[in-house]
């Protein structure tokens, strides 16, 4: 399933829920959450997070169905470069541990067992999109300003091949 596309925004808010009607227990063991940058040529993944369904559920007599959140999920990817081809795109796809903070998502996951005797449910395996109520501003925590001081005093052991090229440093928090 997909959410709608939020264009020209560095702080998109979806307030959408994606509803899958599937068989239970699921055949898959994990769920992939991915943020994609909508581009004119192709949509590029900028961050991926996997949710292991076994870690958010418990089988057995006193078990519970997969349940998560609402919780913040931090998304990491490759270092930010603005070239056509990213040599570390696999980090954005979740095939390694990302090094650059890309986003955080407030998400929630719930599973409901439905009555299978209903005729419209037995044949329905489609994905539905619905609006969700907006999240109250105070639930995301108190915004506080702070001062960060970072000093780069020295840069040593730089490969000689890079010595005559421009070098930059990036500090990220997240």
User: Is 173 inside any structural domain?
Assistant: no
User: Is 113 inside any structural domain?
Assistant: yes
User: Is 64 inside any structural domain?
Assistant: yes
Query: What does the mean pLDDT of the chain come to?
Result: 81
| Of 68-77, 101-110, 137-146, 151-160, minimum mean pLDDT range | 137-146
CA distance linking residue 77 with residue 56, whole number of Å: 24
User: Is 118 inside any structural domain?
Assistant: yes
Residue 89 has phi, psi (to 5 degrees) of -60, -25
pTM: 0.68
User: Is 172 inside any structural domain?
Assistant: no
Question: Which residues neighbour 110 within 8 Å (Cβ) at sequence distance 6 or greater?
Answer: 65, 66, 67
CA distance linking residue 43 with residue 41, whole number of Å: 7
**Selection from 137, 136, 138, 148 nearest residue 174 by Cα:** 148
User: Is 1 inside any structural domain?
Assistant: no
- 172's tokens: 């990220």
User: Is 156 inside any structural domain?
Assistant: no
pLDDT digits (tens, 9 = 90+) for 75-101: 888 776 655 566 666 666 767 677 788
Give the domain range for residue 90. Answer: 16-139
Are 78 and 91 spatial neighbours (Cβ–Cβ below 8 Å)?
yes
Count how many domains the chain has.
1
């Amino acid at each position: 399933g997909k959410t709608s596309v939020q264009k020209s925004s560095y702080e998109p808010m979806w307030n959408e829920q994606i509803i899958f009607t599937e068989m239970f227990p699921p055949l898959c063991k994990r769920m992939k959450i991915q943020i994609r940058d909508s581009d004119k040529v192709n949509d590029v993944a900028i961050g991926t997070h996997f949710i292991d369904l076994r870690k958010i559920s418990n089988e057995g007599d006193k078990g519970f169905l997969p349940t998560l959140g609402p919780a913040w999920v931090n998304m990491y990817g490759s270092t930010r470069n603005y070239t056509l081809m990213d040599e570390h795109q696999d980090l954005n796809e979740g095939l390694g541990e990302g090094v650059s903070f890309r986003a955080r998502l407030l998400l929630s996951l719930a599973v409901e067992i439905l009555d299978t005797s209903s005729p419209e449910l037995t044949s329905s395996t489609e994905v539905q999109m619905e609006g969700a109520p907006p999240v109250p501003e105070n639930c995301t925590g108190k915004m506080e300003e702070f001062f960060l001081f970072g000093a780069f005093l020295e840069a040593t052991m730089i490969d000689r091949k890079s010595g005559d090229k421009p070098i930059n440093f990036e500090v990220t928090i997240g």
